[in-house]
Chains A and B, each alone.
Chain A
Amino acid sequence: MLSVQGLHLWRGDRHVLRGVSFDAGSGQCVLLTGRNGAGKTTLLRAIAGLLDPEEGKVLWRGESTRATRDTFHSELAYLGHEPPLKGDLTGYENLHYGVGIRRAVAATEIDAALDRTGARAFADRATRRLSAGQRRRIALAGLLLANAALWLLDEPTTNLDADGQALVAQLIRQQLDRGLVVAAVHQGIELPAGKVRALELEAA
């Protein structure tokens, strides 16, 4: 489904991605590991199309993601290092507007996603009043609601307690039944061994 072929990317004079290649099919989770500055976030952003690599290409379902950008993006959910939430909106409003621009979403669906991520109890508060972990749970609900085949996750367990980290592992396992996940991680995520592939990036 996803094929990353020989990505080279420079940031200024730093050669961050040096010919990164991998293939991943449905039901697989690619865990990107490596030290700080190894290019994990850069690789995720390049796959998503937020960065233009100088060389190489990304194929989704056999087609270049540059040529079919909107279709690819409609099948993609990207969760960056910081949850993309508006501090002056409630968690519920953030999901209503954030997911609503992608697909029609009913209030009951939002409630169900908030239940699954354990965020229902605080979803009616302005997100700037929430803890970092609570904000992350709201963002995870948004990820579920995106109904995307490909998840790109940048440090998805950041700021989460042990329960939250187990929740992320559970959500990824469920996602693997319907698509694939590429995640940049610092700490391990408990996933079935046969479905995980680790890719270590080296700092330039």
Chain B
Amino acid sequence: MRTPALTAARLVAGRDLRLAFRKPSQLLQPLMFFMIVATLFPLTLSPEMSRLRDVAPGVLWIGALLSSLLALEFLFRDDAVDGTLEQFALSGQSLTWMLFAKTCTHWLLAGLPLALSAPVAALALGVPAAALGSVVAALALGSLALSLVGAICAGLTLGARRGGVLLSLLTLPLAVPVLVFGADATRLAIAGESVLPPMYMLSAIVVLGMTLAPLAAAAAVRIGLE
């Protein structure tokens, strides 16, 4: 009996989770990078909390963006090398659903831990404790949007030499709206104002990404497999 599409997607996610926990170094690398970037900044700036608070949104979001770029390199690369993506494409299942599952799992393993660890970095940057919830929520949404956008770019760079550089060049311009609204949400949270307007925008980007990114990523991967 043919496997239903959602079951196939669940199996893809389960396999990626199992693989990730067997190779924890790959899992920890982006997270460590984010923590190092975010905690090095206070050492290079003046120790005045008010000054650190001013730069905190930029530091947190640039750190999150660079860290997610680092993780994106692994999204499809191993599967392309060992022939797994070919098997996905030839399985008779929807490649869109399977890549959506892979992207969500990637976010669970890279984006969500980053958002959950953000309070440590945020406190080092003088972010008030009352703002931490909003910072985590904004980073969770923003990192999901980055994973979705990044999946398209990772698919497009599958067959390219020096794909890592190209991946960054493709992803960075597309990540600008996420960066703008995410940093704005963090700035408003630090100022004690309502974060809803930028959070709505981030949510809209995520919804748009969930709708279109898996389709675009599947088309990109099919081209990359040629």
Interface residue SS majority, chain B: helix
Is B3 part of the contact surface with A, judged by Cβ < 8 Å?
A: yes
A103 touching B2 by the CB < 8 A rule? yes
B15 touching A104 by the CB < 8 A rule? no
A104 touching B3 by the CB < 8 A rule? yes
Is B87 part of the contact surface with A, judged by Cβ < 8 Å?
A: yes
Closest to A104 in B: B1
- Which of A56-64, A92-100, A114-122 lies at the interface with chain B? A92-100
User: For window 1-35 of chain B, which residues contact chain A by CB distance below 8 Å?
Assistant: 1-3, 7-8, 11-12, 14-15, 18-19, 22-23
Contacts of A88 in B (CB 8 A): 19, 22-23
Among A71, A73, A102, which residue has its beta carbon within 8 angstroms of that of B3?
A102
User: Contacts A50-B90, A88-B23, A101-B88 given; 15 further ones with Cβ under 8 A?
Assistant: A49-B89, A50-B226, A70-B92, A71-B92, A74-B92, A75-B92, A78-B90, A86-B15, A88-B19, A88-B22, A89-B15, A93-B15, A97-B15, A101-B12, A102-B92
Closest to A11 in B: B226
Is A1 part of the contact surface with B, judged by Cβ < 8 Å?
A: no
A50 touching B92 by the CB < 8 A rule? no
The 3 A-B residue pairs with the shortest CB-CB distance in the complex, in nearest-first order: A74-B92, A84-B83, A73-B92
A51 touching B226 by the CB < 8 A rule? yes
Closest to B22 in A: A88
Is A48 part of the contact surface with B, judged by Cβ < 8 Å?
A: yes
Interface residue SS majority, chain A: loop
Is A27 part of the contact surface with B, judged by Cβ < 8 Å?
A: no
B11 touching A84 by the CB < 8 A rule? no
B90 touching A76 by the CB < 8 A rule? yes
- Least Cβ distance of A28 to chain B in Å? 21
Closest to A102 in B: B91
Is A124 part of the contact surface with B, judged by Cβ < 8 Å?
A: no
The answer for the CA separation of A70 and B7 in the assembled complex, in Å, is 16
Contacts of B94 in A (CB 8 A): 70
Among B12, B22, B82, B93, which residue has its beta carbon within 8 angstroms of that of A84?
B82
Q: How large is the interface on B (under 10, 10 to 19, 20 to 34, 35 or more residues)?
A: 20 to 34
User: For window 134-163 of chain B, which residues contact chain A by CB distance below 8 Å?
Assistant: none
Contacts of B225 in A (CB 8 A): 50
A-B contacts, 19 of them at CB < 8 A, read: A71-B92, A73-B90, A76-B90, A82-B82, A82-B83, A86-B15, A86-B82, A87-B82, A88-B19, A88-B22, A88-B23, A89-B18, A89-B22, A93-B15, A100-B11, A101-B8, A101-B88, A101-B98, A102-B3
B15 touching A103 by the CB < 8 A rule? no
B19 touching A86 by the CB < 8 A rule? yes
Contacts of B88 in A (CB 8 A): 101
A86 touching B84 by the CB < 8 A rule? yes
- Least Cβ distance of A173 to chain B in Å? 24
The answer for the CA separation of A100 and B98 in the assembled complex, in Å, is 13
Is A52 part of the contact surface with B, judged by Cβ < 8 Å?
A: yes
- Least Cβ distance of B196 to chain A in Å? 40
Contacts of B18 in A (CB 8 A): 89, 93
Is A133 part of the contact surface with B, judged by Cβ < 8 Å?
A: no
Closest to A80 in B: B83
Is B86 part of the contact surface with A, judged by Cβ < 8 Å?
A: yes
A103 touching B82 by the CB < 8 A rule? no
**Of listed B83, B89, B94, residue having the most chain A CB within 10 A:** B83
Is A85 part of the contact surface with B, judged by Cβ < 8 Å?
A: yes
**Of listed B12, B88, B92, B225, residue having the most chain A CB within 10 A:** B92
- Least Cβ distance of A145 to chain B in Å? 12
Contacts of B84 in A (CB 8 A): 84, 86, 98
